[in-house]
Amino acid sequence: MTKLQWKLALTLGLLALSVWLIYPTIDWYTKTNDERGKMEATRMRPKKILNLGLDLRGGTHMLLELDVEKLDKKEKLSDAMSRAIEIIRNRIDQYGVGETPISRQGERWISVDLPGISNTAEAENLIGKTALLEFRLVNTSNEAQSALSKVETLDGPPFQKDGKLLPEIAKIMPRGTMLFKASPGPDGEKVRYYVLEDTVPVTGAYLEGARVETDQQFGMPNIAFTFNKEGGKLFEKFTGDNINKNLAIVLDAVVHSAPVIKSRIGGGSGIIEGSFTLEEARNLAIILRAGALPAPVNIIEKRVVGPGLGEDSIKKGVSAAAIGFLVVVIFMIFYYRAGGFVSDIALMLNFVFLIAAMSYFGATLTLPGIAGMILSLAMAIDANVLILERMREEHALSKPVAMIIPTAYNKAWSAILDSNMTTWIAAIFLFQFGTGPVKGFAVTLTIGLLMGMFTSVFVTRVIYEFWLTSNPKELSI
């Protein structure tokens, strides 16, 4: 194959690849809301599609505050914040919400957007759980039974407003123990309490995985968990040393079950039983897999953004882009004739390549992102204008067509590179120091500039080189 044939094959191959990458996005957004909902519920949602941001799709916005007073004293605040953001991101990604904007705000605040989720209770349950999993022994001594009997006589909970035990309960508790509440039963039965040892030999830090399983006898969903190698050894030794004792499985200071240890439990696995619905069990498994937050997070702001604004914005944005695109196409053909037509082809390919790249990376499109896309298209057509004006200058010197085209590209290249480089630098700083929508603008602009450089300089030149094979005598510019 000749060099030109290789260039043509590369261009057509990229076009075919782009169409293949864009198809899942088109297929997804042409489905009904019910169809998309069923696919999301069964985790069949395509991963490599262009996601719509909160301002276009609607959903939930939350501002979280990390409870720094409950942080481990050995852990730095900056490290804890980074870990909390990563854990929250992992939870949301596993839930199936693609490319969620999560950013740090100030010293201890985290901003989270959840496109497509309008159920704030579901969002709070997914994000707000600390997911601190502990395995503690149940204290069954006479002192513990006396304390529990005293708790049953109370009209309210045995805790004060600050979370500490009531004085009359605290003074009769066995030494080295703590009082924990049990998870509520399915029929709203009275809250139960457990007296547990205050030592925690095994925690969820050793978890390697968690998944939802169904109880074969009653068909109830449970959470099966597995430890890593180190955790499996600890758990096996711990259960072997405490046969015939009750082992409480505690998640976020709530006892979910307290089975009797009948024998040494090897293999590094176990089951958390409780009155879970299938959705609760699934969310809990996600949270356990993602890991425990370094400290509790408090939701200090939450609001539901309706999709009406997004739909209106999409319609206006599409209309504005279509009108602007059409005006540019007509102007280029009118002003530069055949040269303008070639530029229009490159502009359309630029748009296709840009959408394909964003779909491949699962990027989120927001209103600022649309602005970045329009700006990148403007930069692409500007590069074509520079090339065409150089062609006119060379044409005015009566040079042959075969010399005009390569000379124009060589002379216009430095100006095209300079203009794009300065914009890239600005986009890099916006991405590095910006948050939320600003980052979306920077990402779209950066990808758009790369595609614009490719289509303006490479693709148009391939078209001209192919045209030159017919040995033309005149250049229509």
DSSP 252-275: TTEEEE--B--S---TTEEEE-SS
Residue 226's DSSP bridge partners are: 209, 269
Per-residue pLDDT of the chain (477 residues), as tens digits, is: 688 899 999 999 999 999 999 999 898 888 887 777 667 656 677 778 887 777 777 778 888 898 888 887 777 888 888 878 877 877 776 665 555 678 888 888 998 887 777 666 766 776 766 667 788 999 999 999 998 998 888 888 888 877 788 888 889 999 999 999 887 765 556 788 999 998 888 887 787 777 888 877 777 788 887 888 888 888 888 888 888 888 888 877 888 878 888 788 777 777 777 666 777 777 777 767 766 677 788 888 888 776 655 566 667 767 877 888 899 899 999 999 999 999 999 999 999 999 999 888 877 787 788 888 888 888 889 999 999 999 999 988 888 888 999 999 999 999 999 988 999 899 888 888 776 677 778 888 888 999 999 999 999 999 999 998 888 888 888
Distance in angstroms (rounded) separating the CA atoms of residues 444 and 57: 18
pLDDT for residue 409:
93
Quote the pLDDT of residue 97: 58
Per-residue model confidence (pLDDT) at position 307: 61
β-strands 364-365, 51-52 pairing: parallel
Other residues' Cβ atoms within 10 Å of the Cβ of residue 4:
13
Q: What is the pTM of this model?
A: 0.63
Give the chain's domains with CATH numbers.
3-29+308-468 (1.20.1640.10), 59-130+300-305 (3.30.70.3400), 133-275 (3.30.1360.200)
- The identity of residue 212, as a single letter, is V
H or E, element range at 277: none
Question: How far is residue 466 from each of residues 4, 7, 474, measured CA to CA in Å?
Answer: 7, 10, 15
Beta strand segments in 12-87, E: 51-52, 59-66
Tokens of 416: 């095209």
Write the single-letter amino acid at 12: L
Six-digit token string for 388: 């065409």
Distance CA 354, CA 65 (A): 36
Query: Which residue, among 173, 179, 141, 177, has the nearest Cα to 157 in the 3D structure?
Result: 179
pLDDT score at 127: 75
pLDDT value at residue 285: 75
Nearest to 175 by CA among 150, 149, 195: 195
What is the DSSP secondary structure assignment for residue 70, as one 8-state letter? G
- What is the per-residue pLDDT for 12? 93
Tokens linked to 80: 């804890």
User: What is the DSSP pairing of strand 133-137 with strand 202-203?
Assistant: antiparallel
Query: DSSP states of 421-465 as a string?
Result: HHHHHHHHHHHHH--THHHHHHHHHHHHHHHHHIIIIIIHHHHHH
Cβ-contact 64, 127 below 8 angstroms: yes
